[in-house]
Chains A and B, each alone.
Chain A
Amino acid sequence: MSHPGDPPPELDRREMMTLLGAGLSLAGLGGCMQTPAEGILPRTDQSPEARPGMPVEYATSLVLDGFATGVVCKALDGRPIKIEGNPDHPASLGATSAWQQAAILGLYEPARAGRARARHGLPSVGSLRQILAGRRGLARLWFLSHPDGSPTVARLMERIRERHPSARFVFESPVGRRAVYQGAELCTGRALEAQHRFDLADVWVSLDADFAAAGPGSVRWARDFARRRRLASPTGDPGRLYVAEPRPTATGILADERAAMRAVDVGPAAVALLGAIVRRGRRPPGLDAALADQLARVASPPLHARWVEAAARDLAARPGRGLILAGERQPAWVHAIVHLIGAALGHHGTTATLTAPSLIDPLGLTLADLVTAARAGEVRTLVILDANPVYTAPADLDVAGALARVPETIHLAELEDETSAACGWFLPRAHPLESWGDARALDGTESLIQPLIRPLHGGVTGPELLAAFAGIAAASGRELVRAGQAGPAWSDDLRRGFRPGTASPAVAAPIAPSAALARAIGQAVETARSAGARATALELALAPSEAVHDGRLAHIGWLQELPQPVTKLTWGNAALMSPRTAARLGVATDDLVRLRLAGREIEAPALVQPGTADDSVSIALGYGRGAGGGVGRGIGASGFRLWTTRTGAFAPGLTVESTGEQRPLARTQEVFDEGGREIALAAALARYRADPDFTAEHRGPLPTLLPDLTTGQPQWAMTIDTMICSGCSACVVACQAENNIPLVGRQGVLDHRQMHWLRIDTYQGGSAAAPAFVHQPMLCQHCEKAPCEYVCPTYATSHSPDGLNEMTYNRCIGTRFCSNNCPYKVRRFNWFDYTEDAPALVQLGRNPNVTVRGRGVMEKCTYCVQRIRAAEIEARMEHRAIRPGEVVTACQQACPTGAIQFGALHHEGTEMVAWRRQDRAYAVLHELGTRPRTMYLARITNPAGEGE
């Protein structure tokens, strides 16, 4: 297939001139044709909601690994085009993550399966229903699904168990929260979820938990954290964030005290932390004295002693005002230690309220149980709902082999993937935006899922398939969810998107001494003691990708091209290692290396990333997809091939060798230092307090010869606080969805032709061993004296009286002078027609209020001018002035931390205005006199002082 960016086929000079001449004269003729009449197809019925060209919004939920986030989806003329957070939903508070933004593209995925397929028999849910009708007591019936908390699914499970008493249900996800619940079970005897309140803490400790960008509550967590964290003045207290992790993540970059630590060392550090806290006289209540003494004697690991001691000191100094959490991939005993620390310091009930988990059967059967049963011939019928175990299961389980032993296998999935190929039946699943359903948020709130469009390719939902087994004849998804509810409560809940007051109640769960807990602490102490001996073993650490999760989002091009927060890597994954480790192994970035662990191997390009722990190699999961990967098929290497039941998500004993080959990585940023200039300002809190005006020379008026082009009100502007920006990149995808930004593919990124209007620049300061990063979201700065404007020969870029730097595409002739004259490098050029050949289905998802650009045209951030003008029109029609907060840009709306604020300069009292008057405000490249309308706030860190 030819691709934009390929060199043209061979042409000789004469042929070329002939074609040029012919093209020119034909192009001239084109102007003489009268445009043929378009059709107008009005609706036939009169619906009060449907007005042509007016958006309609519905509250629904998106679910990942069983946890719902409330969203509001906007549909225009019947087509869903944009997803925003649901401000009332406790897991969203109005913000979204990158993958939620990308769900729109998933809906219009051309590779989505259209047809049911069966090895034998009739392929449809209807025929399945007929087969199952009247049958009871099916033996050896198993179901496999992602973790789920849906009340509807729970009800259907009951019905299925009544009808088929031997039915078994397995809920499994590659990196699920099983270890979290097991940890709580060790301490209290029952599975518990800690509901974290980041806004109520002064000290946060993250042990390998990327809470700001990953995990089931990250959107809410990030917002709570940022609200507590943001500094309004030098006298404020930003709290202190401690992070221990093997590779820099969004959370690690926010940290004040970051320890680059191998994943295997995180557990020993947790034990040492608990030991240091016990030594400070704070013992977990209910824990017997002998165990506490055993813990108190654990010394801090020498490499991270300062970090552990500082964290213990801060936590112990603020009982009830601390918060600690461990990553999902850490083993149960680490979570038990975290639970004990929380108990010792009075976190439970304040910053970590304990509730029952919102998932069904959180510590139930595992995939390994299913595989064992299948091997033993104890599974006759297996129904797989939306999971892809052939790709995601540990390599030593051989799920494909086990599936071959099962006589009847039914797979329900959006795309026909690796698992479908191993199953007898395949049924297309409806996309969440086409489905009725429900789910529970992390805090237990029952959230409703309602469709915005009829299934584009047919397809059924998980509950509809389960209903066939439950013997519920021809039930629609809506009836299953409604379950007899009617009247105003149901319609109110539906309008709201969730059922208020359904959050899980807090439970009192004192520590219950048990043999298992004693054993776990013994094991923990032993691991901590022997940690020194294994200090130099090279480890492999696997984690879901920040972009494509565990591979189930690999078909979404926006996420493949999303620069990963720190590495800026697109279209693939890499073996991340620290500079020192890379030097020891003799490899450099782009070298293809062979990774071997426990007799299994994969090949992946190396990426030398400062901030990675020495002797740790990180690989993002979710790449190297086979069938069902869509555009992500065959891209990158699959980390699951190194994951075994014994080694888990991380394990020492990795060997790395160079293959001698090179595989260039497509990164959107390759230089991370500021080249001696001050671009992204940062300071420690002490320096900021001593010199609050340290950004003074980066703001204020500068003389100019250029005329003032702006008049009247409103004057639009933006302020971005880099202190709370985690780099999670939700804004980047939101911008792409709102503004019809095309994809350029891996080769396009390698040629530096990416089209993102909003990028997140990351600058690295500090030392190579302990780098400090600053994220700086960079978009058109809407300079008052814009250098791009006065070099445009066609007046295609101009200044509006309300302070916008406008881009008029149909005037642009593509000289690219503007881009060359832009000091911020925010203008993007359409080198090819990236949009013309897009499948018709993908075109349905475009925002009709933004022009789709063709080849040879420059484009850039417009401050979401379509939203500004829509709000202005609304105000004009109501004969009033525009109100504060009425215009929200796509990036601002998506941002989980609220780091981006937009508004009009005359609206005093808005955060946007208040922030830019703060002393740490600055303009990027202020000395050039461009007077950017976008201002930034310098990043302030609060490192622990010695002996503070």
Chain B
Amino acid sequence: MGAMIPKAGGMTLYLNTAYHPIFGFLNGFNSWVLSGSGSIAAGALALTGIFGLTGTTGKLIASLFVIVLTIYNLFGIKAGSTFQNIAMVAKMIPIIIIMVAAFTMGTESPDLSLTPSGGDISFGGMVSMIAFATLATLWAYEGWVNLNTITEEMKNPKRNLPLSLIIAIGSITLLYVLFNLAIYKVIPIDDIKELIGEEEYYLGTEVAMRLLGGVGGTIVIIGMVISQIGSTNGMIIAFPRTHYAMAVEGHFFKAFKKLHPKYRVPSTAIICQAVITIILLWLRDLDQLTSLVVFSNMLFNVLVIIAVPVLRKKMPDAERPYRVWGGLPTIYITIAIYFAMMINTLLEDPLTAFIGLIVPAIGVVVYFIFDRKIKAEARNGQTNCQ
């Protein structure tokens, strides 16, 4: 999509075409206030968590971390993207060390049969179990949409954008499967149960400890830190480009479409995002932030998927270069799964669901304020976001 419409940020234009321009705006507004800034806040808090820093100290260090990365990214895309290259290479080293050690030295032969341990389970129960477990993996696949946001800064985006996505998602999927298999080859399932029972979730660290001793554990911790900095930095680069695109379109603060004369980055959008991130970071804890972001993203994923049949009706003659696997039933099943997961959140964690729903509602009001402004041709200079 980005390759066709280099000016659009992410899903915005897709939602606009299917429904109404307000939906694309809401997606951007929601990312600005909640999902985008919330993800950065979660990334910063996860980093301090690795060092065992929690509470006020953790939040102070996390805020400082956001400020430092923000300043770093004000000096041009090259600086930020160079760091991404370094982080990418650096964090692969410990992951590869763990996997090579596990596959060469691992002595366990994990039982990969698909029959549930708890005896008989109905087909429906199996499906809902798989859906629930897959949902947990999706947090690890978040973020691919953001490549669209740097389209304008890519060389030959028509070729490089889709190619980057396919190469990246394909290899990352393989990496996740192999990484988990590597763990199973070292730690027996009963030990895994025991570790998780003690809330020791970092099984990769345990693998390194068992095979390579304390040095191995240290390497993994360094890898965790670098990857956490890398993913947080990537988000700090990507999201303000969406805010820039929204401002260029018109329904957003005019100050966000200004590029720094020398460094060519949307400075105001970058600084404003840091402010919102730090506010969220102080309002919510890490687990509250991740569930909020997941719920909030689910809402827009549903809209994107519903858009498929909507667009089929709207543009029946449009050329379709491919067919959705399984056709419309696949789409309806996917929508049903998403709704089930959202209702589940609504029951289990009403506050998260409430915040996730109220922000887009506020967005509707904000959209019409900008809409009136545009229509009235009011040229009242700059609007500050703070």
Q: Do A and B come from one complex?
A: no
Q: Which residues of A are at the interface with B, using a C-beta cutoff of 8 A?
A: none
Residues of B within 8 A of A (CB): none
